[in-house]
Chain A
Amino acid sequence: MKIRHILLLLTTFLGVALLVAVSFQIRSQLLELDTAQRMAASNAVREQLLLGAAALAEERSRTYVFLIGSSGEGRGLDELMSARQRVDALLKAAGEEIGSKRGDLRAPANSLASLDRIDRDLAALRKRADEHLAAVRQGQGQDVAQRWFREATHVVEELHSSRLTLLQQERPQEPALRAEATIRLYGGIISESIARNQALMTGALSRSEKTANHELREISRNAGRAGLAWDLVQSQLTTPLSETVKAAVASSFAHYDGTFAPLQETNLTALLSGVNPALGPEEWYSVAQRSLLTIADMQQRLLDSSRERLEAQLAQAWQSVVLWAALLLGGIAAVFASVFMVRMRVVQPLEGLSSAMLRLADNDLSTPLPRLGRKDEIGGMSDALRVFKANALRRQREQNDRQALHARLEDAYRLLRNDLEAAAVIQKTMLPAASTLGLVQHRGLFRPSSLIAGDTYNVVQHRDGRIGFFQIDVAGHGAAAALVSVASHHTLSQAILTEEDARLDEIAARINREWPEDLPYFTMILGRIDVRDRRLTIVQAGHPSPLLVRRNGLVEVLGDGGFPVGMTHRAMYETLETDFNSGDRLLVYSDGLVEAENAAGEQFSEPRLLQFVREQAKSPTPIILDGLDQALRKWRGSETLADDVSILMLERLSERTVDAHL
Chain B
Amino acid sequence: MLTSELRNNVLVVRVAEKRVDASKAPAFKDEMTQCIESGQSQLVLDLSNVDFVDSSGLGAIVACLKQLGPRGNLAIAGAKGAVSRLFTLTRMDKVFALHDTVDSAVEKLSS
| Chain A positions near chain B (C-beta within 8 angstroms) | 473, 475-477, 520-521, 523, 542, 544-545, 560-564, 567-568, 570-571, 591, 595, 603, 643
Contacts and interface: CB of A to CB of B under 8 A. Distances in A.
B90 A476 contact: no
Nearest to B65: A568
Q: Which of B52, B58, B62, B91 has the most CB of A within 10 A?
A: B91
Nearest to A597: B52
A521 B63 CA distance: 11
Given A476-B22, A477-B22, A568-B95, A560 B56 contact: no
A524 to B, nearest CB: 12
Given A476-B22, A567-B62, A603-B82, A562 B55 contact: no
Given A595-B54, A603-B82, A643-B54, A476 B59 contact: yes
Contact of A475 (B56, B88, B89): B56
A110 B52 CA distance: 131
Given A523-B90, A542-B89, A561-B89, A475 B82 contact: no
Contact of B59 (A475, A477, A570, A591): A475
A523 B88 CA distance: 14
A561 B88 contact: yes
B56 A544 contact: no
A643 to B, nearest CB: 7
Contacts of B54: 591, 595, 643
A591 B56 CA distance: 12
Contacts of A561: 88-91
Given A561-B89, A562-B90, A591-B54, 18 more contacts: A473-B55, A475-B58, A521-B62, A523-B55, A542-B89, A542-B90, A560-B88, A561-B88, A561-B91, A562-B91, A564-B55, A568-B62, A570-B95, A571-B91, A591-B55, A595-B54, A603-B82, A643-B54
A475 B58 CA distance: 9
Chain A interface, >50% SS class = loop
Contacts of B59: 475-476, 520-521, 567
30 contacts: A475-B55, A475-B58, A475-B59, A476-B22, A476-B55, A476-B59, A477-B22, A521-B55, A521-B59, A523-B90, A542-B90, A542-B91, A545-B89, A560-B88, A560-B89, A561-B88, A561-B91, A562-B91, A563-B90, A563-B91, A564-B90, A567-B59, A567-B62, A568-B62, A568-B95, A591-B54, A595-B52, A595-B54, A603-B52, A643-B54
Q: What class of interface size applies to chain B in its complex with A?
A: 10 to 19
Contacts of A591: 54-55
Contacts of A521: 55, 59, 62
Interface string B86-102: 00111100010000000
A544 B22 CA distance: 18
Nearest to A475: B55
Interface string B48-72: 0000101110110010000000000
B22 to A, nearest CB: 6
Contacts of B56: 475-476
A542 B54 CA distance: 12
Chain B interface, >50% SS class = helix
Nearest to B62: A567
A544 B89 contact: yes
Contacts of A567: 59, 62, 90
Q: Which of B52, B56, B62, B90 has the most CB of A within 10 A?
A: B90
Closest 5 CB pairs of A and B: A475-B55, A561-B89, A542-B90, A563-B91, A475-B59
A473 B91 CA distance: 16
A643 B52 CA distance: 14
Nearest to A454: B55
A563 B95 CA distance: 10
Nearest to B23: A642
Contacts of A643: 54
Nearest to A571: B91
Nearest to B18: A601
Contacts of A568: 62, 95
B18 to A, nearest CB: 9
Contacts of B55: 473, 475-476, 521, 523, 564, 591
Interface in B21-51: 22
A49 B82 CA distance: 142
Q: Which of A475, A542, A544, A560 has the most CB of B within 10 A?
A: A475
A567 B22 CA distance: 17
Nearest to A606: B85
Contacts of B88: 560-561
A544 B90 CA distance: 9
A494 to B, nearest CB: 24
A541 to B, nearest CB: 9
Nearest to B82: A603
A563 B94 CA distance: 9
Nearest to A521: B59
B108 to A, nearest CB: 21
Contacts of B90: 523, 542, 561-564, 567
A413 to B, nearest CB: 20
Nearest to A476: B56
B64 to A, nearest CB: 13
Contacts of A520: 59
B86 to A, nearest CB: 9
A599 to B, nearest CB: 16
Q: Which of B52, B55, B58 has the most CB of A within 10 A?
A: B55
A601 to B, nearest CB: 9
Contacts of B82: 603
Nearest to B93: A561
Nearest to A591: B55
Nearest to A564: B90
Contacts of B58: 475
A603 B82 CA distance: 10
A591 B58 CA distance: 13
A591 B90 CA distance: 12
A386 B22 CA distance: 51
B80 to A, nearest CB: 15
Contacts of A571: 91
Nearest to A568: B95
Contacts of A473: 55
A561 B91 CA distance: 6
